[in-house]
């Protein structure tokens, strides 16, 4: 698919980057090797939403967020970020990405501050700004870890490591935060602290997309659940007060009705994923 075809489609669907839609996809297919993983995904993520992407292992939920953020290329279909197609001109500074795991056993012994600073390197920005330490400390303060700025990542708990990655995503002051299974392997206490951090960010109006196996500690902040099965969206609905967190928000959702989508980001990870 050419950049020009993406541009023309994005313009037709969402002229001039219509306000209110942060991220979207239409007719999105992803094939990796012999596996057809995503099969015609249509989705819009609206400004201010906190969307949980759920589904069994192999359902395609992580592939979806990695395609929406440009890490995995789409085989066909359209994706756009704030009304602009995924290309070097997309507004990458408006999105922060938190990967699934931290590679603390990979031999990298960077400090929390150093990891957060890498969030300032994206697109054509290959050099850190002069005030990168101040910006990084401020981001760590937002997630309650300013006091661990000089601590090596290897000595932090799993929950603290994930909060450092949130700070790395926040350091560029994004409008949209995308998290891929951020509490995988994290203990319950750390999950509560992590959920509190996201709740504070959501209260400030940040748009959040998070891949989860179950709502759990995140139930109070989730506004919408999207469930994938075999590479398609099978449910998409607001979270209601009657849904039980242990059920992953599936009790009262209704069949997906074909959200028209239109935005997608291209994000490159910076080496701290396991």
3-state per-residue secondary structure call for the chain: CCHHHHHHHHHHHCCCCCCCEEEEEEEEEEEECCEEEEEEEEEEEECCCEEEEECCCCCCHHHHHHHHCCCCCCCEEEEEECCEECCCCCCHHHEEEECCCCCCCCCCCCEHHHHHHHHHCCCCCCCCCCCHHHHHHHHHHHCCCHHHCCCEHHHCCHHHHHHHHHHHHHCCCCCEEEECCCCCCCCHHHHHHHHHHHHHHHHCCCEEEEECCCCHHHHHHCCEEEEEECCEEEEEEECCCCCCHHHCCCCCCCECCCCCCCEECCCCCCCCCC
Q: What is the pTM of this model?
A: 0.78
Which range, of 24-33, 50-59, 94-103, averages the lowest pLDDT? Answer: 94-103
Give the CA diameter of the chain.
50
236 in Cβ contact with 256 (< 8 Å): yes
25 in Cβ contact with 77 (< 8 Å): yes
Question: Which residues lie closer than 8 Å to 182 by C-beta, 6 or more apart?
Answer: 98, 100, 162, 165, 166, 194, 210, 211
* Residues facing residue 43 across a β-bridge: 25
Check residues 184 and 55 and name the one with the higher pLDDT.
55
Whether 140 shows a pLDDT value over 90: the answer reads: yes
Question: Which residues lie closer than 8 Å to 252 by C-beta, 6 or more apart?
Answer: 237, 240, 242, 243
* pLDDT > 70 in the chain, percent: 77
User: How far, in Å, CA of 149 to CA of 140, rounded?
Assistant: 7
User: What is the rounded average pLDDT of the residues 78-99?
Assistant: 88
Mean pLDDT is highest, among 38-47, 81-90, 102-111, 185-194, for: 38-47
| pLDDT at res. 241 | 54
Interval 186-241: pLDDT, tens? 778 878 888 888 999 999 999 999 999 888 889 999 999 999 999 999 999 998 75
Interval 52-71: pLDDT, tens? 999 999 999 999 999 998 88
Residue 243: pLDDT band by 50, 70, 90 thresholds? low
Whether 5 shows a pLDDT value over 50: the answer reads: no
Listing from the earlier edge strand, what are the strands of the sheet with 224-229? Answer: 95-98, 176-179, 207-211, 50-54, 224-229, 232-238
Check residues 266 and 119 and name the one with the higher pLDDT.
119
Residue 102: pLDDT band by 50, 70, 90 thresholds? low
Q: Is 240 exposed, middle or buried (0-12, 13-18, 19+ CB in 10 A)?
A: exposed
User: What is the rounded average pLDDT of the residues 24-53?
Assistant: 96
39 in Cβ contact with 64 (< 8 Å): no
């Amino acid at each position: 698919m050419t950049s020009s075809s993406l541009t023309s489609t994005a313009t037709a669907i969402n002229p001039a980057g219509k306000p209110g839609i942060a991220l979207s996809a239409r007719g999105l297919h992803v094939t990796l090797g012999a596996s057809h993983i995503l099969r015609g995904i249509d989705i819009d993520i609206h400004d201010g939403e906190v969307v949980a992407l759920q589904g069994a292992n192999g359902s395609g939920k992580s592939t979806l967020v990695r395609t929406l953020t440009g890490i995995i290329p789409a085989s066909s279909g359209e994706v756009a970020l704030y009304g602009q197609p995924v290309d070097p001109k997309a507004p990458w500074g408006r999105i922060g990405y938190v990967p699934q795991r931290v590679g603390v056993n990979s031999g990298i012994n960077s400090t929390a501050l150093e990891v957060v600073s890498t969030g300032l390197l994206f697109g054509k920005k290959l050099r850190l700004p002069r005030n990168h330490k101040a910006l990084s400390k401020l981001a760590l303060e937002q997630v309650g870890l300013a006091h661990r700025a000089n601590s090596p990542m290897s000595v932090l708990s799993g929950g603290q490591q994930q909060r450092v990655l949130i700070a790395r995503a926040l350091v560029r002051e994004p409008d949209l935060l995308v998290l891929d299974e951020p509490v995988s392997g994290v203990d319950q206490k750390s999950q509560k602290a992590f959920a509190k951090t996201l709740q504070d960010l959501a209260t400030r109006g940040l748009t959040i997309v998070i891949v989860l196996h179950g709502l759990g500690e995140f139930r109070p902040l989730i506004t919408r659940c999207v469930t994938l099965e075999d590479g398609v969206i099978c449910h998409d609905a607001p979270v209601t007060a009657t849904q039980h967190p242990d059920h992953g928000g599936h009790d009262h959702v209704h069949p997906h009705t074909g959200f028209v989508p239109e935005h997608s980001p291209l994000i490159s990870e910076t080496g701290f994923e396991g």
